Amino acid sequence: MAPTLPEECASHTKECSSQQQQESGGFDFAPERSDLNQYWYSDKTIAALAGEVASLPAGQRAAMVSTPSIYFALPPDAREGHRVLDFDEQWKDDPGFTFYDFNDPDGVPQDLHHAFDLLVIDPPFITREVWEKYAQTARLMLKEGLDEAGQPKGKLLCSTVRENQKMMAEILDVKPQTFRPSIPNLVYQYDLYTNYSSPALSQCNPEIDEGVDDTAPAHQGLRVEHPDDQMVIPTHKEGGKEVPMYTDEYVAARLAAAMEADPNSTPAAPEVFSPEVTALMARREAAGALKKVLEGLAGPVESTIKARVKLSKAEESDREAAQRSYDAALEKVNAALATGMELAGAIGIDGPWPQVVADVGKEAKAEMRTKKQLIAFLAITKTQGQELFKLQKAMLVEIKELKAHAS
């Protein structure tokens, strides 16, 4: 039997799904943001994790750190006393929201220090350096000491890849649980880790497992869907600019040092995919990139409209400069559309997407002059972006099925 959320919480999750339906899988009322490495749990996994919060004794408090889907799965009246800490400020108007940046692990407000009985944590990255910062925050926020049964007063529920099992034991003293979370739009499988015993989490998740107790590493990788996604690797300030915290040279040096310390160690072999899976993954990547291109047309098209209006009103002496500005703006639109057409072909030259890009291009270069016309155009790109997102989800399902049949 799968873990279940108390009835009032489960009904609230369904209510959010039906009233505020988007295209993002489990956490339906907030689309995933790849620039923040957001990948929501499925509805059933959200229900299971929110059930851990809802099962706390009266008066106990939980903080959802980088796990907003769990916080918002609770009915509004059940959130009282609980908090959600996140970098994404779209929820800043909620009374339980606190801004959180893992680069400032001690920056949580004083009134949150040692105030919580449970922390639910799922960082955007799986590296040790990032987890150590979340651990620093956890130690600051959790209640200290042991209860009458000798168990920690401050409980932890964490989510990361299985390869981090040893690391998680070292920095947070947590152990993997049987229940594994479903993350529909993430190719890699995650595990849950706790420092307490949970009857609900000691059962298999039927979305992932069918009674199989497998604790051997079976997956690799960061939470990244496309190589051009931002925030794939943590950054730091250098010379006033954001630069990668982990360069290729840094990673290579760390690997060499690890192998020198343990001469018998060897790098994990990369997962080998069949040609069919590889081709489908490439098409899915192209679909994601095309979605970004279409949705990114807003800026260039708006600039073109402004330049067109300015050109139409320009005095003779200013007309040449205005023409240059308009040509430059239009060139950016053309460049984006050319990229879009290449990506459409990569998805499938015989499919509908080349024609979709052609139609969007025709609208993008139409004689728009008003904000109303721009909004109508943006509605077109948004609709096509949603269709591409659906296509990505369908492809992901197919990829998982092909991989399962090959194993």
CATH number for the domain including 137? 3.40.50.150
Residue at 214 is within a domain:
no
Question: Residue ranges of the alpha helices (H) in 32-160?
Answer: 43-54, 68-73, 128-141
398, two tokens: 């197919």
Residue at 224 is within a domain:
no
CB distance 337 to 356 below 8 Å:
no
Helix, strand counts (H, E) of the chain = 11, 9
Residue at 67 is within a domain:
yes
Q: How much is the pLDDT for 149?
A: 81
Same-domain check for residues 265 and 193: no
Q: Look at residues 371, 4, 317 and name the one whose alpha carbon lies nearest to residue 179.
A: 4
Q: How much is the pLDDT for 298?
A: 85
Q: How much is the pLDDT for 267?
A: 54
Q: How much is the pLDDT for 15?
A: 38
Same-domain check for residues 120 and 241: no
Model confidence, pTM: 0.51
Same-domain check for residues 159 and 11: yes
Query: What is the total count of domains within the chain?
Result: 3
Same-domain check for residues 266 and 284: no
Specify the 3-state DSSP secondary structure of 193: strand
Residue at 46 is within a domain:
yes
Q: How much is the pLDDT for 230?
A: 34
Rg (C-alpha) for the chain, rounded Å, is 24
CB distance 39 to 30 below 8 Å:
no
Would you call 393 exposed, middle or buried from its count of C-beta atoms within 10 A (0-12, 13-18, 19+)?
A: middle
- Alpha-carbon distance 159 to 157, whole Å? 7
- Alpha-carbon distance 249 to 150, whole Å? 46
Same-domain check for residues 50 and 194: yes
- Alpha-carbon distance 255 to 248, whole Å? 11
Residue at 44 is within a domain:
yes
CA distances in angstroms from 214 to 40, 52, 189, listed in the order given: 24, 23, 12
Q: How much is the pLDDT for 379?
A: 87
Final residue belonging to a domain, choices 251, 270, 289: 270
Q: Quick one: residue 38, left, alpha or beta (phi over 0 = left, psi -120 to 50 = alpha)?
A: beta
Residue at 227 is within a domain:
no
Extract the residue ranges of the chain whose pLDDT is less than 50: 1-26, 211-238, 241-248, 250-251
Q: Which residues constitute the domain of residue 317?
A: 275-406
- Alpha-carbon distance 290 to 293, whole Å? 5
Q: How much is the pLDDT for 349?
A: 76
Same-domain check for residues 166 and 303: no
CA distances in angstroms from 50 to 7, 12, 19, 296, 298, listed in the order given: 12, 11, 19, 35, 37
Same-domain check for residues 247 and 145: no
Residue at 139 is within a domain:
yes
Same-domain check for residues 183 and 328: no
Q: How much is the pLDDT for 378?
A: 86
| DSSP state at residue 77 | G
CB distance 385 to 291 below 8 Å:
yes
Q: How much is the pLDDT for 246?
A: 42
Residues across the chain: 407
Same-domain check for residues 254 and 301: no
Final residue belonging to a domain, choices 255, 270, 285: 270
Q: Look at residues 221, 57, 236 and name the one whose alpha carbon lies nearest to residue 148.
A: 57
Same-domain check for residues 148 and 161: yes
Final residue belonging to a domain, choices 202, 225, 251: 202
Same-domain check for residues 188 and 298: no
Residue at 353 is within a domain:
yes
Same-domain check for residues 265 and 309: no
- Which helix (H) or strand (E) element contains residue 176? strand 175-176
